Chain A
């Protein structure tokens, strides 16, 4: 929270930007509180970014540190690129939430604690021997101690919900207090509650009462020294129609849109896996868009169903995460060999093996580019933010159908669950890429190619006179029949490579996001690290450092000018949420002196961490 610049007309202190972290038990409704705060903040006209961070356990034992669920939102009167390095305000609904999050709060930060949950038992479960509210632990911070449990119970007592259900509304009470504190409008949340609990009006009323009570408490109660009410002025956003969007929503919608643009039905076969499952959930609601969803028996069946659909003339697609990608490897090879268009969303998570399912990582890059038997090239794209997922899902559909190839879109847990305001595009302005199936029988064989794209023809079974057989065995270049001819295999391998590399010819050149197209240091990133890198480079440049930001979205093939561009910098730093993958690809491809900056903690980069890396590499 910045130093207040001036008080507003209504006596509120004006702040430029704020980071709030809601933290509590998995069952405390912190994600819901965070979501609602996000929606109202968007309406208030701030730019924002969010970071939900929750445990893999659905309901971990109450009160434990591993059961703590968090939601961080960064909102400001300027553009916001990351969910924030450190919370200015920490809401801790129990001792475990305080224990897990306190070390992230800067000195002087505001902590709102629910003292009602600071019981002996909860303190013990959190690993506190003494009450941290009394032993000086929280002395460096501004602390607002409230028995939120009791205040909530009093507020909803008249609804006769029983003590357990009453207590469940304490997230709304807390939200009400924060709405007062940051001058947010309650109406959108009231409307949302009325809709959500339409069948249980008393539950809706109790939640609304809790929200109002929290708000009223802020208005009437005397706050301790240093705790006030604030206002974050509207950000200057480009005019238009906006919504918040998460990465997985955007992928699902982009796929439905991509099917429309290709003029094809979509067949999405998928197997549930964290953090990709919500792509399936979202698409299952879009049947009226010509989307068929199929929950397969396993990851292999999921991608095979997509390949079968592609053979049948539909847009086949699937979504998964790292472990599922490993299982899909062989089938990806089949799609490469048979040159069928499928779209694969890989929502990366911390690995190897089961790893940390709900934590973000960028460690599937090698797997996406190279993780198959044989020389098996395909196209890999990587959106840099939740809203970019919409565009890249469409791009994946376009490239897949125009080049008859599988396309992998690499997202990650951070993009998948994080939300950002999105200026909604006009679908009618997006260029169509309608698929034309082969009809002509003259000179036909299944591997006849488009001389420009090298894509083979796509035939829809049911077309008379074009009956043909394809499969995983090597094909003769000139007839599509099975071939074991040595020279032919060499030729076909080169051809498959040339087709994929050729995609770059019709893709945009690599731009420089910020800075100059030459200089001392290029910071090269990909995917969800965009915000942290961009903010760090911006700060470094403000300090006078010669540093530029380059962010890759075309992971394979890479942009055709990338090598030339990178060679114009003396040093290249590659921040990644893995043990160093892109920097090795860049070295291998371009013989440039790329250096890694890795973080493998299941958490996004903080701006300060990237900034420190920049300073080190510039000896600044």
Chain B
């Protein structure tokens, strides 16, 4: 920017609201997520025309229509693949992928895995409501055992998948978890996700008031939150509870246990300090679940390495530097040729 450029007016939430009427069910957790994103983006200094939201199919995947940025509502499960091509074609774009538990982990599980292990520089938000909403309530790959649904009237017998654990297993270098209704913390996590170069994976616990109401109540309800949510922060001890009176300790054999910290309990020095670059710790944290344990939120793992696009661009530039700009006529005449007089 030169000194003569007029100052760019700071964008506000309403700059990111599109002219389309939002069509989620009343009370859907997606409203809260949309609001959190629209509120957080201005503070991230995003450039609206360089921002693209790409989604698959499902309730969550309507998201791009409501954002006043570039957007692509693609086909079921394929948003990660499409976003990969988009990023390769146009590396300067700031790409967000919106998916759900069915879209991202069932039909699109393969693409999600490859986006993460390749480390494509996008932010991926997986809205996890543990149910298929748009097709009217069938169980999803994250539904709990015994979930009753139109397709499982006697209860689901499928073991559910843990999205955060999946992301870590696939080799993601940024893995975080947040909750739909916690707008402030969600905004913070998304800000961190965007700052990370490479694939950032964010699982967002989301309520579906129509088909799976209260599925996260045991974790997300205000009354229990302090005892069920462990918000991690790099370099800080893993403490929770209304007065942060509880903490996590690793005991022999690598198991994690909840301890009381301070008076009548253990000294804080025995509580694990969060190291977001420790992949083993991230695996432990990702597996914690209620009621025995609190569920871990925030940035569980962050250990950047060069993004996929950077490496691809580097190879393209290397080829260009070595061989010069391609000459089609020379290409056609390369190798064995002959003249006919």
Could you tell me the distance between the alpha carbons of A432 and B1 in the complex, rounded to whole angstroms? 35
| Segment from A296-304, A363-371, A515-523, A604-612 that makes contact with B | A296-304
Q: How large is the interface on A (under 10, 10 to 19, 20 to 34, 35 or more residues)?
A: 35 or more
Could you tell me the distance between the alpha carbons of A185 and B78 in the complex, rounded to whole angstroms? 54
Say whether B84 faces chain A, with CB atoms less than 8 Å apart.
Answer: yes
- CB-contacts of A282-320 with B (<8 A): 286-290, 292, 294, 296-298, 300-302, 304-314, 316
| Segment from A199-207, A208-216, A403-411, A468-476 that makes contact with B | A468-476
Residue of A nearest to B319 (CB): A287
Could you tell me the distance between the alpha carbons of A240 and B338 in the complex, rounded to whole angstroms? 8
Say whether B341 faces chain A, with CB atoms less than 8 Å apart.
Answer: yes
Q: Which chain A residues lie closer than 8 Å to B78 at the CB level?
A: 300-301, 304, 331
Q: Which of A242, A301, A331 contacts B340 (CB 8 A)?
A: A242
- CB-contacts of B1-49 with A (<8 A): 18, 20, 48-49
Q: A300-B78, A462-B93 are in contact. Are A241 and B69 (CB under 8 A)?
A: no
- CB-contacts of B81-121 with A (<8 A): 81-90, 92-93, 110-111, 113-114
| Segment from B155-163, B229-237, B323-331 that makes contact with A | B323-331
Cβ of B49 and Cβ of A463 under 8 Å apart?
yes
Q: A469-B70, A470-B71 are in contact. Are A292 and B316 (CB under 8 A)?
A: yes
Q: Which chain B residues lie closer than 8 Å to A305 at the CB level?
A: 81-82, 84-85, 88
Cβ of B332 and Cβ of A243 under 8 Å apart?
yes
Residue of A nearest to B18 (CB): A469
Q: A42-B338, A298-B110, A308-B89 are in contact. Are A286 and B52 (CB under 8 A)?
A: no
Cβ of B89 and Cβ of A313 under 8 Å apart?
yes
Say whether A353 faces chain B, with CB atoms less than 8 Å apart.
Answer: no
Could you tell me the distance between the alpha carbons of A489 and B11 in the complex, rounded to whole angstroms? 37
Cβ of B75 and Cβ of A461 under 8 Å apart?
no
Which of A43, A240, A257, A292 counts the most B-chain CB atoms under 10 A from its CB? A292
Q: Which chain B residues lie closer than 8 Å to A486 at the CB level?
A: none
- CB-contacts of B309-331 with A (<8 A): 312, 315-316, 319-320, 322-326, 328-329, 331
Residue of A nearest to B340 (CB): A237
Could you tell me the distance between the alpha carbons of A387 and B80 in the complex, rounded to whole angstroms? 36
Say whether B65 faces chain A, with CB atoms less than 8 Å apart.
Answer: yes
Residue of B nearest to A430 (CB): B328
Which of B86, B319, B329 counts the most A-chain CB atoms under 10 A from its CB? B86
Q: Which chain A residues lie closer than 8 Å to B69 at the CB level?
A: 467
Q: A45-B340, A242-B338, A472-B73 are in contact. Are A309 and B88 (CB under 8 A)?
A: yes
Could you tell me the distance between the alpha carbons of A241 and B86 in the complex, rounded to whole angstroms? 39
Residue of B nearest to A260 (CB): B328
Q: A286-B326, A288-B326, A297-B114 are in contact. Are A425 and B90 (CB under 8 A)?
A: no
Cβ of A312 and Cβ of B90 under 8 Å apart?
yes
Could you tell me the distance between the alpha carbons of A360 and B65 in the complex, rounded to whole angstroms? 45
Closest-CB distance, B310 to chain A (whole angstroms): 13
Q: Which chain B residues lie closer than 8 Å to A306 at the CB level?
A: 85
Cβ of B333 and Cβ of A467 under 8 Å apart?
no
Say whether A495 faces chain B, with CB atoms less than 8 Å apart.
Answer: no
Say whether B132 faces chain A, with CB atoms less than 8 Å apart.
Answer: no
Residue of B nearest to A306 (CB): B85
Closest-CB distance, B316 to chain A (whole angstroms): 5
Could you tell me the distance between the alpha carbons of A306 and B88 in the complex, rounded to whole angstroms? 10
Closest-CB distance, B49 to chain A (whole angstroms): 4
Q: Which chain B residues lie closer than 8 Å to A290 at the CB level?
A: 326
Q: Which of B73, B81, B88 contacts A470 (CB 8 A)?
A: B73
Q: Which chain B residues lie closer than 8 Å to A43 at the CB level?
A: 336, 338
Say whether B294 faces chain A, with CB atoms less than 8 Å apart.
Answer: no
Could you tell me the distance between the alpha carbons of A428 and B338 in the complex, rounded to whole angstroms? 20
Say whether B264 faces chain A, with CB atoms less than 8 Å apart.
Answer: no
Cβ of B64 and Cβ of A469 under 8 Å apart?
yes
Say whether A465 faces chain B, with CB atoms less than 8 Å apart.
Answer: yes
Could you tell me the distance between the alpha carbons of A560 and B50 in the complex, rounded to whole angstroms? 43
Q: A269-B85, A312-B89 are in contact. Are A256 and B331 (CB under 8 A)?
A: yes
Could you tell me the distance between the alpha carbons of A173 and B83 in the complex, rounded to whole angstroms? 53
Which of A42, A289, A331, A334 counts the most B-chain CB atoms under 10 A from its CB? A289
Say whether B138 faces chain A, with CB atoms less than 8 Å apart.
Answer: no
Q: A188-B336, A467-B48 are in contact. Are A472 and B70 (CB under 8 A)?
A: no
Say whether B339 faces chain A, with CB atoms less than 8 Å apart.
Answer: yes
Say whether A602 faces chain B, with CB atoms less than 8 Å apart.
Answer: no
Could you tell me the distance between the alpha carbons of A242 and B337 in the complex, rounded to whole angstroms? 5
- CB-contacts of B45-77 with A (<8 A): 48-50, 52, 54, 57, 64-65, 67-75
Cβ of B325 and Cβ of A288 under 8 Å apart?
yes
Closest-CB distance, B48 to chain A (whole angstroms): 6
Say whether B153 faces chain A, with CB atoms less than 8 Å apart.
Answer: no
Say whether A424 faces chain B, with CB atoms less than 8 Å apart.
Answer: yes
Q: A241-B339, A242-B340 are in contact. Are A461 and B85 (CB under 8 A)?
A: no
Closest-CB distance, B1 to chain A (whole angstroms): 15
Could you tell me the distance between the alpha carbons of A311 and B54 in the complex, rounded to whole angstroms? 11
Cβ of B333 and Cβ of A243 under 8 Å apart?
yes
Say whether B335 faces chain A, with CB atoms less than 8 Å apart.
Answer: yes
Say whether A482 faces chain B, with CB atoms less than 8 Å apart.
Answer: yes
Closest-CB distance, B233 to chain A (whole angstroms): 35
Q: Which of B65, B74, B88, B332 contacts A292 (CB 8 A)?
A: B88
Could you tell me the distance between the alpha carbons of A298 and B319 in the complex, rounded to whole angstroms? 26
Q: Which of B85, B90, B332 contacts A427 (CB 8 A)?
A: B332
Closest-CB distance, B259 to chain A (whole angstroms): 43
Q: Which chain A residues lie closer than 8 Å to B338 at the CB level?
A: 42-43, 241-243
Cβ of A473 and Cβ of B73 under 8 Å apart?
yes
Say whether A122 faces chain B, with CB atoms less than 8 Å apart.
Answer: no
Cβ of A462 and Cβ of B49 under 8 Å apart?
yes
Q: Which chain A residues lie closer than 8 Å to B70 at the CB level?
A: 461, 467-469
Q: A288-B325, A471-B64 are in contact. Are A461 and B88 (CB under 8 A)?
A: no
Q: Which of A45, A308, A424 contacts B332 (CB 8 A)?
A: A424
Cβ of A267 and Cβ of B337 under 8 Å apart?
no
Q: Which chain B residues lie closer than 8 Å to A569 at the CB level?
A: none
Could you tell me the distance between the alpha carbons of A87 and B49 in the complex, rounded to whole angstroms? 64
Q: Which of A42, A260, A297, A468 contacts B110 (CB 8 A)?
A: A297
Closest-CB distance, A286 to chain B (whole angstroms): 6
Say whether A238 faces chain B, with CB atoms less than 8 Å apart.
Answer: yes
Closest-CB distance, A42 to chain B (whole angstroms): 6
Q: Which chain B residues lie closer than 8 Å to A338 at the CB level?
A: 72
Cβ of B89 and Cβ of A462 under 8 Å apart?
no
Closest-CB distance, B332 to chain A (whole angstroms): 5
Closest-CB distance, B115 to chain A (whole angstroms): 9
Q: Which chain B residues lie closer than 8 Å to A239 at the CB level?
A: 339-341
Closest-CB distance, B190 to chain A (whole angstroms): 20
- CB-contacts of A262-284 with B (<8 A): 265, 267, 269
Cβ of A330 and Cβ of B319 under 8 Å apart?
no
Which of B18, B64, B81 counts the most A-chain CB atoms under 10 A from its CB? B81
Could you tell me the distance between the alpha carbons of A438 and B89 in the complex, rounded to whole angstroms? 18
Cβ of A462 and Cβ of B333 under 8 Å apart?
no
Cβ of A300 and Cβ of B81 under 8 Å apart?
yes
Could you tell me the distance between the alpha carbons of A316 and B52 in the complex, rounded to whole angstroms? 18
Residue of B nearest to A265 (CB): B89
Could you tell me the distance between the alpha carbons of A314 and B114 in the complex, rounded to whole angstroms? 22
Q: Which chain B residues lie closer than 8 Å to A462 at the CB level?
A: 49-50, 90, 92-93
- CB-based closest 3 A-B pairs: A471-B73, A305-B85, A308-B85
List the interface of chain B (C-beta within 8 A of A): 18, 20, 48-50, 52, 54, 57, 64-65, 67-75, 78, 80-90, 92-93, 110-111, 113-114, 312, 315-316, 319-320, 322-326, 328-329, 331-333, 335-341
26 contacts between A and B (CB under 8 A): A253-B332, A265-B89, A286-B326, A286-B331, A294-B312, A298-B110, A301-B80, A306-B85, A307-B85, A309-B89, A312-B89, A314-B90, A460-B90, A461-B52, A461-B86, A462-B93, A468-B70, A468-B71, A469-B67, A469-B71, A469-B72, A471-B64, A471-B71, A471-B72, A473-B73, A481-B20
Beyond A296-B84, A462-B90: 18 further Cβ-contacts under 8 Å?
Answer: A239-B340, A243-B336, A243-B337, A267-B85, A288-B316, A288-B319, A288-B326, A294-B85, A308-B72, A309-B85, A312-B87, A330-B75, A423-B340, A461-B49, A467-B68, A468-B70, A469-B18, A471-B74
